[in-house]
């Protein structure tokens, strides 16, 4: 029955712990693992692990509260279930004892030795790593032991002679063997030197050997990693302070020793692969333990979804701006090598290697040659992955345009078709060209490719002046330099006018021949002719024509003409007939039949040598002498001629006004001639003054009145 009861309780203990949760009872001592209940503590009374045969030792099992265990306690001897009893039992047999309560895990094994020897070496219990342990050399009750000496691994411990007990400082679990010697007196008569058995002090672990826990043994490159150095203090030493350190391939990680059992690594890279371990030690540095090594292999994720982005957005740039090429990957770990490429170039534009999913390449002050297609590549050892092509357009602001004239001849003439051509040698199309004449807009034209634009003009004289153009492609207008145009106008038919000092020119007078074209570009060269003989020439650089002077002689009678020429074709004037006599000269002006001249009513009319010539001469008019010596009171008067103009039907028809208003015969008085007896020079000098006096002495006299007086 007792055996059946034991098995039943053992089965139940493996199914349920004290609070109803599943638990297990180990069948043999083992190191406590994370997540397992704290170990039970086995105490000895008296606190010596060695006793004489026949003595008793009380074993007490304590749970997690370090108080005596409640309820049944499971006892083990030599790794086998032994008893189910209360928390304290007495033993008399040697063996390795362990215990377990419902709230704790299996305690460490304690070896209790019951010896038949007369001399034993006792060690206090419990002893933990780093503790000071008391050793006592003890003889049986009936033997008096003296001259005690203590040894460690066969060597006498210093200062250990003839002491009942000694203290060994800071013991460790190093399997050292201790023993003692003593001289024993039997029955107070015989003295025998005895040796104790060698004793291996049972040093319990102050804390478990650390175990390195990692969040992942194959982390993804770039991901964080947590390292935990896991251990546990003995429940009997809960206040001992520990510190921790982590290592990879003999290299200390982090800042070294720390009271935290965790180390956070923000990101793991392929070069972080290797063998890791941790160490735990007391802050007094007397106990240090190292975990087993763990191999960590960092996994690299190949890059994917490589993308190229251009700033400014859209890849539309203006020459001189800065461009940024941004290469990025959607996935990929570790060190990524980015490179940028342009179509048509063998070598890359740039290369960067960094732990990032994005990299930038800056192109400063782009030029026209920077336009084209671009792509980027990314590689993290698995081979480069390329982005799609991106088109970059570099727009060029227009340069100052050049305005040129294109005409049929070197010298532009009225009527020519003039082409104004405006062209900017640099600038992105389309370019809008505007044309100006004296800052007045003529028109505009757009050019969608190189070569500029043109504007046509049919030239008139008013088109002379300054011309300019501007070019604009939306990036700022530029204005050309001004270009002057002179439209050359051919001369019109000149008019020849004879200008004399008086109304009647005489030998010796200075006659001015004046020739003028009312239209024509300057300079104009005027030629003067007498009976087709060249008299001379004169150039006019502005309006007003040109003149040529003659000192009259009788040979100067005849036909006069002039010619105007500005290089675009000469024009000849109408012929003017001029008569010179020894006493007088008469100029006949040619008039059109449609023209007539009404004589003045206040004074005698005369041939005006300053009147311009006209196209056709009048038909000869009969001149009859009607009177002579009208004013005989003038002693200087030699003679005078009075001419009457006979109205013909033709003249009356042509001049109806004259026919109506002057029914009587109109009388035309000629200029009187005076002779000065002193010399001919006096005649010349006073002619002008006498001419004025004579004009005041004559008037138109009706014919009927003159006849009656006569």
Indicate if 384 and 514 belong to the same structural domain.
no
Going by C-alpha positions, the residue among 153, 155, 154, 137 that lies closest to residue 193 is: 137
Give domain status of residue 637, yes or no: no
Going by C-alpha positions, the residue among 329, 397, 587, 615 that lies closest to residue 493 is: 615
CA distance 468 to 438: 8
pLDDT surpassing 70 at residue 617: no
Indicate if 56 and 198 belong to the same structural domain.
yes
Indicate if 76 and 174 belong to the same structural domain.
yes
Going by C-alpha positions, the residue among 78, 73, 121, 138 that lies closest to residue 100 is: 73
Indicate if 161 and 237 belong to the same structural domain.
no
**Cα dihedral 599, 604, 607, 612 sign:** negative
Give domain status of residue 699, yes or no: no
Structure pTM?
0.50
Structure tokens at 77: 């001897």
Q: Which of 329, 360, 393 is the last residue of a domain?
A: 393
Residue 618, C-beta contacts closer than 8 angstroms, at least 6 positions apart: 590, 591, 593
Pick 526 or 595 by higher pLDDT: 526
For residue 691, report the phi and psi dihedrals to the nearest 5 degrees: -60, -45
Structure tokens at 334: 């570790």
Give domain status of residue 23, yes or no: no
pLDDT surpassing 80 at residue 681: no
Structure tokens at 610: 């300053």
List pLDDT tens digits, range 33-73. Answer: 455 678 888 999 999 999 999 999 999 998 766 556 566 78
Return the residue matching tokens 């290299």: 251
pLDDT surpassing 50 at residue 2: no
Residue 543, C-beta contacts closer than 8 angstroms, at least 6 positions apart: 522
CA distance 675 to 660: 40
Structure tokens at 390: 């991106």
Indicate if 315 and 464 belong to the same structural domain.
no
List pLDDT tens digits, range 373-423. Answer: 999 999 988 899 999 999 999 999 999 999 999 988 888 888 899 999 999
Beta bridge partners of 379: 337
Structure tokens at 234: 């003995």
Number of domains in the chain: 5
- What is the biggest distance separating any 2 CA atoms in the chain, rounded to whole angstroms? 225
Query: Does residue 686 sit in helix, strand or coil?
Result: helix
Going by C-alpha positions, the residue among 30, 25, 27 that lies closest to residue 12 is: 25
Structure tokens at 17: 């712990």
Beta bridge partners of 386: 377
Query: Does residue 123 sit in helix, strand or coil?
Result: strand
pLDDT-based confidence at 180, cuts 50/70/90? very high
Rounded mean pLDDT, 140-149: 84
CB atoms within 10 A of CB 631: 11
CA distance 239 to 364: 66
Q: Which of 578, 607, 636 is the last residue of a domain?
A: 578
Distances (CA, A) of 501 to 341, 511, 530, 535, 546: 95, 7, 20, 20, 18
% pLDDT > 90, the chain: 50
pLDDT surpassing 80 at residue 648: no
Give domain status of residue 183, yes or no: yes
263-298 b/e (C-beta count within 10 Å ≥ 16 → b): bebebbbbebbbebbbbbbbeeeebebbbeebebeb
CATH number of the domain where residue 411 is located: 2.60.40.10
188 is in which domain, residue-wise? 41-203
Q: Which of 267, 296, 325 is the last residue of a domain?
A: 296
Structure tokens at 593: 């039949």
Return the residue matching tokens 């007369």: 118
pLDDT surpassing 90 at residue 7: no
Structure tokens at 564: 């105007």
pLDDT at 70: 61
Chain centre distance of CA 261: 51
Give domain status of residue 502, yes or no: yes
pLDDT surpassing 50 at residue 499: yes
């Amino acid at each position: 029955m007792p055996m059946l009861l034991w098995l039943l309780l053992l089965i139940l203990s493996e199914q349920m712990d004290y609070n109803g949760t599943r638990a297990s009872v180990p069948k043999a001592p083992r190191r406590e693992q994370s997540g397992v209940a704290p170990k039970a503590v086995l105490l000895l009374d008296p606190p010596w692990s060695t006793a004489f045969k026949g003595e008793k030792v009380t074993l007490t099992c304590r749970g997690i509260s370090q108080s005596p265990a409640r309820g049944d306690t499971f006892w083990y001897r030599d790794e086998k279930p032994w008893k189910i009893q209360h928390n304290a039992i007495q033993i008399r047999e040697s063996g390795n004892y362990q215990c377990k309560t419902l709230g704790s895990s299996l305690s460490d094994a304690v070896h209790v030795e019951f010896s038949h020897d007369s001399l034993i070496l006792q060690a206090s219990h419990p002893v933990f790593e780093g503790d000071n342990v008391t050793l006592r050399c003890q003889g049986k009750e009936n033997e008096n032991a003296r001259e005690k000496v203590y040894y460690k691994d066969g060597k006498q411990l210093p200062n250990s002679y003839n002491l009942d007990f000694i203290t060994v400082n800071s013991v460790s679990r190093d399997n050292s063997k201790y023993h003692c010697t003593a001289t024993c007196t039997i029955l107070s008569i015989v003295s025998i030197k005895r040796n104790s058995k060698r004793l291996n002090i049972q040093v319990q672990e102050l804390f478990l050997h650390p175990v390195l826990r990692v969040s992942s043994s194959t982390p993804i490159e770039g991901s964080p990693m947590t390292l935990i150095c896991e251990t546990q203090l003995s429940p009997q030493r809960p206040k001992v302070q520990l510190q921790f350190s982590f290592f990879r391939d003999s290299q200390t990680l982090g800042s070294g020793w720390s009271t935290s059992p965790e180390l956070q690594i923000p990101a793991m890279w392929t070069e972080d692969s290797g063998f890791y371990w941790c160490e735990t030690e007391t802050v007094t540095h007397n106990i240090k333990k190292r975990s087993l090594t763990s191999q960590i292999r960092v996994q690299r994720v190949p890059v994917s979804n490589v993308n190229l982005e251009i700033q400014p957005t859209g890849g539309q740039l203006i020459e001189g701006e800065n461009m940024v090429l941004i290469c990025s990957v959607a996935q990929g770990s570790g060190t990524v090598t980015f490179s940028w490429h342009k179509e048509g170039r063998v070598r890359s534009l740039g290369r960067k290697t960094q732990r990032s999913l994005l990299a930038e390449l800056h192109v400063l002050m782009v030029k026209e040659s920077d336009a084209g297609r671009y792509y980027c590549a990314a590689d993290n050892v698995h081979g480069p992955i390329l982005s799609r092509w991106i088109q970059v357009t570099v727009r060029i602001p227009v340069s100052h345009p050049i305005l040129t004239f294109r005409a049929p001849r070197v010298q532009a003439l009225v009527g020519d078709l003039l082409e104004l051509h405006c062209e900017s040698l640099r600038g992105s199309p389309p370019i809008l060209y505007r044309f100006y004449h004296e800052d007045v807009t003529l028109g505009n034209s757009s050019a969608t490719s190189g070569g500029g634009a043109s504007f046509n003009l049919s030239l008139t004289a008013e088109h002379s002046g300054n011309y300019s153009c501007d070019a604009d492609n939306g990036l700022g207008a530029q204005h050309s330099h001004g270009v002057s145009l002179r439209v050359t106008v051919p001369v019109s038919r000149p008019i020849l006018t004879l200008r004399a000092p008086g109304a009647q020119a005489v030998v010796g007078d200075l006659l001015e021949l004046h020739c003028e074209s009312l239209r024509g570009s300057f300079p104009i060269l005027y030629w003067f002719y007498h009976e087709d003989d060249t008299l001379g020439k004169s150039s006019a650089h502005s309006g007003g024509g040109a003149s040529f002077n003659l000192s009259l002689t009788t040979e100067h009678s005849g036909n006069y003409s002039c010619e105007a020429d500005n290089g675009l074709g000469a024009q000849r004037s109408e012929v003017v007939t001029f008569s010179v006599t020894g006493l007088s000269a008469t100029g006949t002006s040619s008039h059109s039949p449609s023209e007539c001249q009404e004589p003045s009513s206040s004074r005698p009319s005369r041939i005006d040598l300053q009147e311009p010539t006209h196209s056709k001469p009048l038909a000869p008019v009969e001149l009859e002498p009607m009177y002579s010596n009208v004013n005989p009171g003038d002693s200087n008067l030699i003679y005078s001629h009075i001419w009457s103009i006979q109205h013909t039907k033709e003249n009356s028809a042509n001049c109806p006004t004259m026919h109506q208003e002057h029914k009587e015969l109109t009388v035309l008085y000629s200029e009187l001639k005076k002779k000065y007896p002193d010399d001919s020079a006096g005649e010349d000098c006073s002619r002008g003054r006498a001419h004025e006096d004579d004009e005041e002495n004559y008037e138109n006299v009706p014919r009927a009145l003159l006849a009656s007086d006569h």
